[in-house]
Amino acid sequence: MQEKLKVLLIDDHPLMRRGIKQLLELEEHFEVIADAGSGSEGISIALQTSPDLIVLDLNMKGLSGLDTLKGLRSEGIDARIVILTVSDAKNDVFALIDAGADGYLLKDTEPDTLLEQIKRIAQGEVILSNSIKDLLIEREYRQDPIDSLTEREKGILTLIATGLSNKQIAGQLFISEETVKVHIRNLLRKLNVHSRVAATVLYFEHNGR
């Protein structure tokens, strides 16, 4: 039996937290273990509970979604973090992906679609809409950091970009899932990015897609 993924919700609107919780609980592999009404409370709960997935609102009073994301990453929280927002503004997208977000989803998405996207992100896939991918590729990188990767790291990056989870990559390469995680940590460091999403964008740019 597959273990349930522990989910933490961080949103300053109680109604939105309740709605997202009810949506996620339609998926049997999700367990909403806590919800927080502010960024600082969310960081504190994350440190206490070590969630697998965090659904984070961008526009919050007090500590913003971006600052909350930076705080979570600086504290060593390695959960998959999904930004849920009404904004697809270019600057928001850039800042959040660079800060380590694993997904960027809009609140006006149809509930069934939103649940499926969150589920796929939780499983390790990179979910980028074409518009957001195009926005990110617009940015110029002075040098191609992918050239600094080993052949194994390049191979793993290719598999990440095709949407495979760590477990699937491990199975395909006949290595342990822990080894995959080590390679991913190393390649993210070399690429100077904090998330699989940002690494995937570099991959698309490198390959002219």
26-43 residue pLDDT tens? 988 899 999 999 999 999
Which residue is listed with tokens 């390649």?
187
> pLDDT confidence of 179, banded at 50, 70, 90?
very high
> pLDDT confidence of 45, banded at 50, 70, 90?
very high
**Cβ atoms 27, 5 nearer than 8 A:** no
**Cβ-count burial of 74 within 10 angstroms (0-12 exposed, 13-18 middle, 19+ buried)?**
exposed
User: pLDDT tens digits for 135-171?
Assistant: 666 655 455 778 878 899 999 999 999 989 999 999 9
DSSP collapsed to 3 states, 141-153: CCCCHHHHCCHHH
Range of lowest pLDDT (68-77, 123-132, 153-162): 123-132
**Cβ atoms 166, 197 nearer than 8 A:** no
Looking at residue 186, its amino acid is N
pLDDT of the residue at 67: 93
Between 157 and 125, the more confident residue is 157
pLDDT of the residue at 71: 94
Q: Quick check: 178 pLDDT over 60?
A: yes
What angle do the packed helices 166-173 and 151-161 form, to 10 degrees? Answer: 130
For residues 18 and 37, give the distance between their C-alpha atoms in angstroms, rounded to a whole number. Answer: 11
**Cβ-count burial of 9 within 10 angstroms (0-12 exposed, 13-18 middle, 19+ buried)?**
buried
For residues 98 and 202, give the distance between their C-alpha atoms in angstroms, rounded to a whole number. Answer: 12
pLDDT of the residue at 132: 67
**Cβ-count burial of 46 within 10 angstroms (0-12 exposed, 13-18 middle, 19+ buried)?**
buried
**Cβ atoms 30, 115 nearer than 8 A:** no
> pLDDT confidence of 63, banded at 50, 70, 90?
very high
For residues 99 and 153, give the distance between their C-alpha atoms in angstroms, rounded to a whole number. Answer: 22
Share of the chain above pLDDT 90, in %: 44
